[in-house]
Amino acid sequence: MHRFYVQGGKPVLKEGDFQHAIVVLRLEEGKEIEIIQGFGQRHLAKIGKIDLKAKQAELIIGEKIEESVEPPCKITLIQGIPRMDKLGDIVESCTQLGVSKFVLVYCKRTQGRYPQDRWDKKIHSLGITAKCAAELSAREIVPEIIGPMDFEKAIALSEGTKLIPWELEQSTHIAKSIKGQPSEVTIAIGPEGGLEHSEIELARSNGFIPVTLGPRILRAELAPVVAISQLLSQVEA
């Protein structure tokens, strides 16, 4: 069944969602879809009146879907900025896994800084990627994407149980670091080349626990996927 995120107010499909549903998928009046209006607000709906001139379609709301696919804890990913072409893959994969917020940060080994106008376009593009990934995986929310900001600021603002994978940590695994059922978990991942020792110490002083993801060095776009998967295997067990 096709899923669409609908903004507050009168439920309608418009703009990109109208184009996808009515023009691309050729959905007609009376076709049943699933709509998501915010955390916990999943409903069955039927497409009502289609206005081709205004490019919008009314929706007839049906029963609420009670089943939830959201993780039992809020997951924030502090991601050291890799090459720009890798960010889309990270956002797509981690959205499907259950990340609620991405914080993009400049680290000491980040390769270059980009002008704000380029970031504005990139954040917009990543937002579209996150929305599509959330629809595909039946998420109840579209993750928030903020940044860029400096690593130090993001670390200071972090909340919940705090984990930071580090290649020099060999004995502390994510499973050992999760006590009970946390309501929020923050995971900090470095860019290509990893994090410097001073950044690990700064994170440690702000309550982060250095953890290992295993004996092998992982690519920048794979490390967050492995970290979140290991976390989920613990909190969803």
Task: Determine the average pLDDT of the residues in 173-195.
Answer: 93
Please report where in the chains the tokens 């860019």 appear, as a residue.
Answer: 191
Q: Which residues have C-beta within 8 Å of that of residue 87, sequence separation ≥ 6?
A: 79, 81, 104, 122, 126
Extract the tokens encoding 192.
Answer: 């290509």
Q: Which domains does the chain have, with CATH numbers?
A: 3-64 (2.40.240.20), 74-235 (3.40.1280.10)
Banded pLDDT at 38 (limits 50, 70, 90) = low
- Mean pLDDT, rounded, of the chain: 91
Q: How many CB atoms lie within 10 A of CB 103?
A: 22
Q: Are 129 and 88 in contact (CB under 8 A)?
A: yes
Residues 126-146, mean pLDDT to the nearest whole number: 91
Q: By the 8 A CB rule, do 100 and 133 touch?
A: no
Specify the pLDDT at position 8. Answer: 67
Beta partners for 146? 103
Q: Which amino acid is at 25?
A: L
Return the residue matching tokens 């996808």.
20
Selection from 27-31, 55-59, 73-77, 173-177 with the highest mean pLDDT: 73-77
Percent of the chain with pLDDT over 90: 62
Cβ-based burial of 3 (10 A; exposed 0-12, middle 13-18, buried ≥19): middle
- For 177-200, b/e burial (b = at least 16 CB within 10 A) is bbeeebeebbbbbbbbebbeeebb
- Residue 151 tokens, joined: 């690593």
pTM over 0.75: yes
For residue 178, what pLDDT band results from cuts at 50, 70 and 90?
very high
CA atoms within 13 A on the CB side of 104: 24
The token pair at 9 is 């107010």
pLDDT given at position 140: 83
pLDDT at 137 over 90: no
